Amino acid sequence: MLCVASVVVVLGAAAGTVTALGDGDERDRGRDTAAAPPGAGATLPAPSRPPSPSLAAASPTVSPAATPSPPAARRAARKPRAAAASAGLYRHDESQVLDWVHAHPADPRTPVIESRIANRPAAVWFADYAPGTITARVRAVTSGAAAQGRVPVLVAYAIPDRDCGGASEGGAPDIDAYDGWIDRFAAGLGRGEAVVVLEPDSIAQADCLDAGARADRFAALARAGRVLKAANPAARVYYDAGHSHWNAPAQQAALLRQAGAASAASSDGIFSNVSNFRGTADEVAYARRVLDALGGPAGLGAVIDTSRNGNGAPADGEWCDPDGRSIGRAPTLDTGQARIDAYLWVKLPGESDGCKGAAGEFSPAYAYELASS
């Protein structure tokens, strides 16, 4: 996808095994159409209603068998949601960076990588089409988070025609199959709080589809949100808004509305900057403009991927493991910013876009560079 991972690399076969998506974040290639300490965080604020690439490279994903594979009236701004000390974001105990840290205790880079990357909570990706095991694998993550009283971040990434035939191609074979996969994904969500990042790049990149296929995709995404929220009213579902240098806010909002992102029955808001490098201030401003144009319930908010945006995006638009980048703000559910629900590490720092290592694989040299910049 132009914004999402370029390759899906499955690392294990057992249920609950972590895998990773490679990052060919091509979001910045020919797509600049935009207008103008470890984070524990807080519990997700209560919804204001009844419970109801972007991805150049992906973060840890849970996957089974090895198979290769992102203008309504202005609403009053929400006040920042209060932090609650009882729960923060969940760090899944299986990831490439943790595997490397455990295997290299004597490496001089290990303390920095461990403290600044491995010990921080990151999203878990579900990027394979494996309906027979998806429920158990989602449940392994959500039950692990619930046991710790923490909030997991899960990425559903199996939409048909994913990445429009690019390096991250894959996903379900058709829309009916995807609907069934989502049903099974939802069955693993449990009852605890959770954040679901729904199909990175699926909306911002939809212009590669013809009108009929685009309508089918948007209908499937709207259905997916309804299914996820009906299965677990405590889950918060966010839809793809690309990033601040992709589609203009009004254009992106119009697409989001078609995909159900303005409906309380399916959506809690939008996500931006997944696997990209755009600065937090730019993404906050962009997300608010998209939300203003989107309309919908006053409670809709945004989550922003801050995993690699500490130094912002490179001036030359380079998307593949660009030099001089840095990890961004620590993941947290307490941003202190109106309508910004969380800063998340959706893309795991250190997993290569394909230039400083194989796409989707952990590179200690790249991780150390990001963590020490």
Question: Torsion angle, CA of 360/169/69/55, rounded to 10 degrees?
Answer: 30
Contact 266, 218 (CB under 8 A): no
- CB atoms under 10 Å from CB of 112, counted, come to 16
Q: Is 163 labeled as catalytic in the residue annotation?
A: yes
Per the residue annotation, which of 163, 292, 321, 334 is the catalytic one? 163
Backbone angles phi, psi at 251, to 5 degrees: -65, -45
Task: Compute the distance between CA of residue 46 and CA of residue 137 in angstroms, rounded to an integer.
Answer: 26
Task: Compute the distance between CA of residue 223 and CA of residue 150 in angstroms, rounded to an integer.
Answer: 27
Question: Torsion angle, CA of 195/198/203/209, rounded to 10 degrees?
Answer: 180
The two tokens of residue 181 are 């996969």
Per the residue annotation, which of 161, 201, 292, 334 is the catalytic one? 201
Shortest CA distance to 346 belongs to which of 154, 165, 184? 154
Give the residue ranges of DSSP H helices in 232-276.
Answer: 249-258
Q: Is 176 labeled as catalytic in the residue annotation?
A: no
Backbone Cα Rg of the chain: 18
Q: Between 364-372 and 96-103, two packed helices, what is the crossing angle to 10 degrees?
A: 100
Task: Compute the distance between CA of residue 118 and CA of residue 107 in angstroms, rounded to an integer.
Answer: 15
Q: Is 201 labeled as catalytic in the residue annotation?
A: yes
Give the residue ranges of DSSP H helices in the chain.
Answer: 96-103, 110-113, 134-148, 175-187, 211-231, 249-258, 280-294, 364-372
Position of tokens 């048909």?
160
Name the residues annotated as catalytic. 163, 201, 353
